[in-house]
Amino acid sequence: MVMPKKLGKREKLGRLRRYQNSKKIGQGTRMSSRGPISVFHLDDSQEQLEVAKIVLERDDPSIRVNPFQSSSALLRELTMRNCDCIVTSYNVNRTNIESLTPEIRRVTEAPIILYSAIERYNAEKVMSSNHIDGFVEKKGDLEHYKELAAMIRGVVEKYRRSHGGA
Annotated domain spans of the chain: 35-162
DSSP-based three-state secondary structure for 87: strand
- What is the number of residues in the chain? 166
Q: What's the pLDDT at 75?
A: 95
Q: What's the pLDDT at 72?
A: 93
Contact 74, 41 (CB under 8 A): no
How would you class 17 by CB atoms within 10 Å of its CB: exposed for 0-12, middle for 13-18, buried for 19 or more?
A: exposed
Q: Which CATH number fits domain 35-162: 3.40.50.2300, 3.30.70.890, 3.30.930.10, 3.90.1150.10?
A: 3.40.50.2300
Q: What's the pLDDT at 31?
A: 44
DSSP state of 137: E
pTM of the model: 0.77
Per-residue pLDDT of the chain (166 residues; tens, 9 = 90+): 444 455 565 665 555 555 555 444 333 344 445 689 999 999 999 999 999 999 999 999 999 999 999 999 999 999 999 999 999 988 777 777 888 999 999 999 999 999 987 766 676 767 766 788 999 989 888 889 999 999 999 999 999 998 876 5
Q: In sequence order, which ranges of 31-138 are alpha helices (DSSP H)? A: 46-59, 71-80, 97-107, 120-130
C-alpha count within 13 angstroms, C-beta hemisphere, residue 151: 21
d(CA 82, CA 80) in angstroms, rounded, equals 7
Contact 112, 136 (CB under 8 A): no
Q: What's the pLDDT at 34?
A: 62
Q: What's the pLDDT at 132?
A: 86
Contact 30, 153 (CB under 8 A): yes
Q: Which stretch of DSSP H or E encloses residue 12? A: helix 9-22
